[in-house]
Amino acid sequence: MGENIGAAARAMWNFGLDRMRLVSPRDGWPNPRAEAMASGAARVLDRVSVFEDTNAACADLSFVFATTARERALTRTVMTPARAMAEARAMIAAGEKVGVLFGPERAGLENADIVRSNAVITVPVNPEFASLNLGQTALLVAYEWMRAADETAPATYALAGASRATRIEVDRFLEHLVARLDAVGFFFPEHKRDSMIVNLENLFRRAPLTDVDIRTLHGIVRALAVKVPGRK
């Protein structure tokens, strides 16, 4: 279906892949429905190559992964998308040409196609509902392709133009806070004072405070210490 081709093209270009090969597309090529579904991924569709059969499409590739969710009576290495794309990157870096073979959405790949592959990619999904459409499968594989080389930290703390507070800045704020709490008799009973201060320190030191946060907290403590005329 043109829609599936377009969805796969969009998924590919999202993650930096732009070489698509089509094997005997059902509705011919080019296909306006594919262009509409690609939603901006025209670069992929402009470079599409069309072949009559799988053999021709894979003829110049040195390694082919076949995607399938079904168990097959074939001896094959079965990989997750993550492992497969890590290996694909290593092979391509060594000068090999690698492809990933997807089947029609309704029936998937035939055994005759899978036997031409070197390994199988199977996505770990809910066994009670293992159905993925073609675009979804292409997206998963393409995402793992990019992730295999991505050095983005798994988590970052965005400071939004501020700087992380230094230890001395946090120390001075805590001294200010404790002094004000002492002044209003917050630490009661007295024998619990030390443990209550430890809890306060733990609270503020485990938070990734910025210099802006520290200034704001100082302002809050000062404001709470000011008596407003006419108010109790």
Helix axis angle, 2-14 to 134-147, nearest 10°: 10
Sheet holding 119-121, edge to edge: 77-79, 119-121, 63-67, 98-101
Q: Model confidence at 150, in pLDDT bands (50, 70, 90)?
A: confident
Q: Give the residue-averaged pLDDT of 129-156.
A: 89
Compute how many other C-beta atoms are within 10 angstroms of the C-beta atom of residue 141: 25
The model's pTM is 0.72
Inform me whether the pLDDT recorded for 62 exceeds 70. yes
Neighbours of 200 (CB within 10 A): 16
The CATH 3.40.1280.10 domain(s) of the chain lie at 2-148
What pLDDT sits at residue 19? 96
Candidate CATH numbers 3.40.50.1970, 1.10.3720.10, 3.40.50.1820, 3.40.1280.10; the one for domain 2-148:
3.40.1280.10
